[in-house]
Amino acid sequence: MPRLSEVIAALENLWPAERAESWDAVGTVVGEPDQDVSRVLFAVDPVQEIVDEAVKLGADLLVTHHPLYLRGTTTVAASTFKGRVVHTLIKNDIALHVAHTNADTADPGVSDALAGALDLRVVRPLVPDAGDPAGRRGLGRICELDHPLTVRELAARAAERLPATAQGIRVAGDPEAVVRTVAVSGGSGDSLFDHVRAAGVDAFLTADLRHHPASEFLADRAAHTPLALLDAAHWATEWPWCELAAAQLDEISDRHGWDLRVHVSRTVTDPWTAHAASDPTKTSGAPN
C-alpha cells in the first residue's frame, strides 16, 4: 500500500504544480504525507456532497479539479462551508489534492478527455503552451471529426455522451451547418474566442459562454468562416477528465504494484439543477 507522499509524487508528475496559472491554487490542501492510501476518489468539485461520498466510500485521498481555496483565508471554522469540508476531511483521515489549470494544459489533459468523450480526433492545442517545444500541451484542443456532422448532430452527440445536466447543450448558429473541425475547451471558454477565430474551425464546444462575447463573436462570423457555438454545463465538460485521470493513476498503480483502488464520483455537482424550456412557438419575439 503506497503512502500519501508517494501517490502525490505520482500526481505531481502528471500535473506539475509549476504549470498552473499564477492565480491558481493547486496541490495538496489537506493530508498527512506518511498516511497509507488504499482508495482514491476523483471528482470535479471539492464540495461537502463529494467529501461525504469520499467518507462513505472509505477513500483516503480525494483528487478534485477545482480548488477548495483560491485565495487565502483566516478561518477553517466548521461553521463556514469550506471549513466544514476541511473538518470532514481531517476527521476522516482523507487527503485532498487539486489539479486545476495544470491539468487543463497537460498532455493528456481536460480537453483531451472532453474530445475523447465525443470521439473527436485531437489535432493540436488551441492555445499551445510556449514552454512545450513538442507543441502537445496547452489550453483547449482543435479536433477533427472522422465523419462530418451537422451542428444539430454534434450537439445531440454531446448531449448523449457528456454526463446529463439540467442545462443540456445550448447551440448558437445554423443547426444544419456541416462541422468537420471543432475547437473544444473544458470549463469556461469565452476568453478563447480570438484563438477559435484564428483556428478557422467550424464549431466551438465549451461552457459558460456569456451573452456579449458570444453575440459579438457570432456577429463577426460573416467576415470569417461560419461558426457554431455549443455551450454545455461547466461541470459536464470537465467530468470526463476525472475518468481519464483515474485511468492514469490506475496505470501508475499497476506499474508500481500498489494495492490501490481508484474511483470516479458520478455525483452531479453542477449548480444548475432544473431547466424550463420555453414554448418554441413563442421564441420568435418578446411577449406582446
Return binding residues: 65-66, 104, 234, 238
- Are 5 and 34 in contact by the 8 Å Cβ rule? The answer is yes
Among the residue ranges 136-144, 150-158, 182-190, 258-266, the one whose residues contact Zn ion (CB under 5 A): 182-190
- What does R_g of the chain's alpha carbons equal in angstroms? 20
Q: Indicate the residue among 187 and 189 with the shorter CB distance to Zn ion.
A: 187
Q: Indicate the residue among 31 and 187 with the shorter CB distance to Zn ion.
A: 187
CB of 258 to Zn ion, least distance (A): 29
For residue 109, state whether it binds Zn ion (rule: CB under 5 A). no
- Are 182 and 147 in contact by the 8 Å Cβ rule? The answer is no
Counting residues that bind Zn ion (by CB under 5 A) gives 2
Q: Indicate the residue among 2 and 187 with the shorter CB distance to Zn ion.
A: 187
For residue 240, state whether it binds Zn ion (rule: CB under 5 A). no
CB of 193 to Zn ion, least distance (A): 18
Q: Indicate the residue among 25 and 252 with the shorter CB distance to Zn ion.
A: 25
Residue ranges for the binding site for a divalent metal cation? 65-66, 104, 234, 238
- Residues 189-228 vs Zn ion: string with x where CB under 5 A? ----------------------------------------
Q: Indicate the residue among 116 and 187 with the shorter CB distance to Zn ion.
A: 187
Distance CA 173, CA 200 (A): 15
CB of 201 to Zn ion, least distance (A): 22
Please choose, from the candidates 84, 64, 63, 62, the residue with its C-alpha nearest in 3D space to the C-alpha of residue 73: 84
For residue 187, state whether it binds Zn ion (rule: CB under 5 A). yes
Among the residue ranges 85-93, 123-131, 157-165, 183-191, the one whose residues contact Zn ion (CB under 5 A): 183-191
Among the residue ranges 6-14, 142-150, 196-204, 235-243, the one whose residues contact Zn ion (CB under 5 A): 235-243
Q: Indicate the residue among 53 and 238 with the shorter CB distance to Zn ion.
A: 238
Q: Within a 10 A sphere around the Cβ of 136, how many other Cβ atoms? A: 16
Please confirm whether the linkage preceding 108 is cis (ω < 30° from 0): yes
- Are 127 and 204 in contact by the 8 Å Cβ rule? The answer is no
User: Under 8 Å CB-to-CB from 118, ≥6 apart: which residues?
Assistant: 154, 157, 158, 161, 162, 184, 205
Among the residue ranges 112-120, 127-135, 175-183, 233-241, the one whose residues contact Zn ion (CB under 5 A): 233-241
CB of 179 to Zn ion, least distance (A): 24
CB of 32 to Zn ion, least distance (A): 28
The interface with Zn ion within residues 44-63 (CB under 5 A) comprises none
Q: Which residue is nearest to Zn ion (CB)?
A: 187
Residues that bind Zn ion (CB under 5 A): 187, 238
